[in-house]
């Protein structure tokens, strides 16, 4: 290769870096002042690094088969800052592809047409609405990931305010606060906290990126009066797993300042098990105790839904290859569950899963159609569900993958279903993925009515994002999504 092409390639990279640097403050202004969340085929552009923005643009080639660079999207973002936009989620990636295909049209004219529903809809005096108080009851793996997501989403019309966390503790409070802050600051799986953390031991508060969070010490819900901390009409997210029925979770509703309770595990009895994107619209005003189901249920239900809609699912089996959890033992020791007493980092542990049965609570049409089992494996995060299904209609691998790819980028399930078509990906590549499940297209098998799908999912982070989406829904946080999905 001659020196001239080398210099040109390097200069193009630097030019694109410079454009991405210019784009970042515009994206921030749209978010902070107009409540406009910019995305690129579902991937948020807000609060992202220059390199991340460039990588997300490269990602478009994999799903759309066309190149898209910041040189294509930057004029669209610039135009958005001049249109006095109202609140919305705007996918500038999809708009960029359309704009590029048309060619020759003025960027502002194009965006004015495509975003007509929100042009000149900004009302600075109206504000963003009344924030909703959120309390995390428990601060373990899911509790800390939820805290990270809520803090990351604070502002921009999100309206969810993390006001408090409730933990047990009667010893050295100063030491306890330091340890809990340290666990939020540093995570062996998800990396360091992006931002600043400070403690006020006397007030028992944690300030994270400007969010003042009260730390409340209690051994049971009955001990807490949230109104004493200025918290009212709160949603309590119970991620302890101690109570899963209406009687147990109902203790939260008896506390002053609490309006609803949300469980981050499958609920028992008549508690609605909600998979956001599938049955969240079924939540009624009187449903004050909800379950966000399980991480596995969230991973497979959206994919089962779209398969059933298109082909019909006659029956099948779900095998979960699941990362080990805190419930298991590091070394062999007593455990009330079968096999789970054996060392988690040294063994594959065959165990049960309720995911197949839990599917029915979100998709009643699957009653009696699915069986399930699980294998716990020696990794700390990211799991896989293997769907071995018999369809009612026939298909082939290419047609099935094409359909699932379309569902992942242009349907009402875009936030739930992701799609990867690489022969090199492994579990660690999906740490931090915000989707409920990710289809591994290279592993898809389809022969007539017989289908096998491999679905990755971050059983901590992806699941937590689904929980936050439920929180947004019950808190009446609604965002218009533009452009409208073709398959919505």
Please name the residue that has the structure tokens 């999809």. Answer: 94
Active site residue 465: no
CA distances (Å), origin 418, targets 42, 94, 421, 449, 458? 9, 16, 10, 23, 12
Contact predicate 45/56, CB 8 Å: yes
Q: List CB contacts of 432: < 8 A, sequence separation 6 or more.
A: 190, 458, 461
Radius of gyration from C-alpha coordinates of the chain: 23
Q: List CB contacts of 109: < 8 A, sequence separation 6 or more.
A: none
Please name the residue that has the structure tokens 């969010």. Answer: 211
- Kindly name the residue from 295, 344, 391, 482 that is annotated as catalytic: 295
> For residue 448, is it left (φ>0), alpha (ψ between -120 and 50) or beta?
left
- Collect contacts of 410-414 with beta carbons under 8 A, ≥24 apart: 410/94, 410/485, 410/486, 410/487, 411/306, 411/485, 411/486, 411/487, 411/488, 412/277, 412/485, 412/487, 412/488, 413/277, 413/302, 413/305, 413/306, 414/42, 414/485
CA distances (Å), origin 421, targets 132, 289, 311, 328, 385? 39, 39, 22, 33, 17
Pairing of strands 370-377, 417-420: unpaired
Whole-number Å distance between alpha carbons of 61 and 216: 48
Write out the H or E segment, with its range, that includes residue 214: strand 211-217
Q: Is the peptide bond before 389 cis (omega within 30 degrees of 0)?
A: no
Contact predicate 161/211, CB 8 Å: yes
Whole-number Å distance between alpha carbons of 136 and 406: 36
Give all strands (DSSP E) within 283-403, no chain letters.
Answer: 289-291, 313-323, 349-351, 370-377, 383-396
Q: At what angle do helices 50-64 and 3-34 cross, to 10 degrees?
A: 100
Whole-number Å distance between alpha carbons of 38 and 384: 30
Go through 218-230 and write b for each residue having 16 or more CB atoms within 10 A of its CB, e for each that does not.
eeebeebebeebe
Whole-number Å distance between alpha carbons of 28 and 428: 30
Q: At what angle do helices 461-474 and 141-153 cross, to 10 degrees?
A: 60
Instruction: Tell me which residues are annotated as active site.
Output: 295
């Amino acid at each position: 290769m001659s020196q001239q092409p080398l210099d040109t390639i390097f200069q193009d990279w630097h030019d694109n870096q410079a454009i991405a640097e210019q784009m970042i403050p515009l994206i921030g202004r749209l978010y902070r002042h107009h409540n406009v969340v910019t995305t690129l085929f579902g991937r948020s552009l807000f609060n992202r690094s220059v390199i991340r923005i460039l990588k997300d643009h490269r990602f478009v080639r994999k799903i759309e088969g066309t190149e898209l660079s910041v040189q294509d999207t930057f004029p669209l973002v610039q135009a958005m800052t001049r249109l006095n936009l109202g609140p919305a989620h705007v996918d500038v990636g999809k708009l960029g592809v359309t704009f590029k295909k048309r060619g020759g049209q003025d960027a502002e004219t194009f965006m004015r047409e495509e975003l007509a529903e929100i042009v000149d809809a900004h009302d600075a005096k109206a504000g963003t609405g009344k924030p909703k108080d959120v309390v995390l009851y428990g601060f373990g793996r899911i509790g800390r990931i939820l805290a990270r997501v809520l803090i990351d989403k604070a502002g921009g019309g999100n309206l969810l305010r993390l006001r408090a966390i409730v933990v047990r503790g009667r010893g050295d409070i100063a030491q306890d606060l330091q340890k809990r802050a340290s666990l939020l600051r540093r995570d062996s799986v998800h990396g360091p906290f992006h931002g600043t953390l400070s403690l006020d031991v006397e007030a028992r508060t944690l300030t994270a990126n400007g969010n003042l969070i009260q730390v409340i010490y209690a051994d049971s819900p009955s001990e807490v009066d949230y109104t004493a901390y200025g918290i009212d009409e709160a949603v309590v997210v119970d991620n302890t797993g101690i109570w899963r029925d209406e009687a147990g979770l109902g203790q939260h509703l008896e506390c002053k300042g609490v309006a609803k309770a949300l469980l981050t595990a499958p609920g028992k009895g008549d508690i609605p098990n909600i998979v956001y994107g599938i049955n969240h619209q079924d939540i009624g005003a009187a449903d004050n105790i909800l379950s966000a189901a399980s991480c596995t249920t969230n991973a497979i239900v959206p994919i089962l839904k779209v398969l059933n809609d298109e082909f019909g699912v006659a029956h099948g089996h779900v095998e979960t290859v699941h990362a080990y959890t805190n419930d298991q033992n590091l070394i062999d020791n007593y455990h009330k569950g079968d096999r789970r007493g054996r060392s988690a980092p040294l063994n594959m542990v065959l165990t049960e899963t309720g995911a197949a049965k839990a599917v029915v609570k979100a998709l009643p049409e699957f009653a009696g159609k699915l069986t399930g089992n699980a294998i716990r494996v020696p990794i700390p995060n990211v799991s896989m569900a293997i769907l071995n299904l018999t369809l009612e209609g026939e298909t082939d691998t290419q047609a099935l993958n094409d359909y699932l790819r379309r569902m992942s980028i242009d349907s009402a399930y875009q936030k739930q279903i992701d799609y990867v078509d690489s022969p090199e990906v492994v579990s660690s590549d999906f740490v931090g993925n915000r989707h409920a499940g990710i289809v591994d297209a290279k592993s898809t098998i389809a022969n007539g009515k017989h289908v096998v799908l491999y679905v990755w999912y971050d059983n901590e982070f992806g699941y937590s994002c689904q929980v936050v989406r439920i929180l947004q829904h019950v808190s009446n946080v609604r965002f218009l999504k533009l452009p409208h999905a073709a398959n919505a």
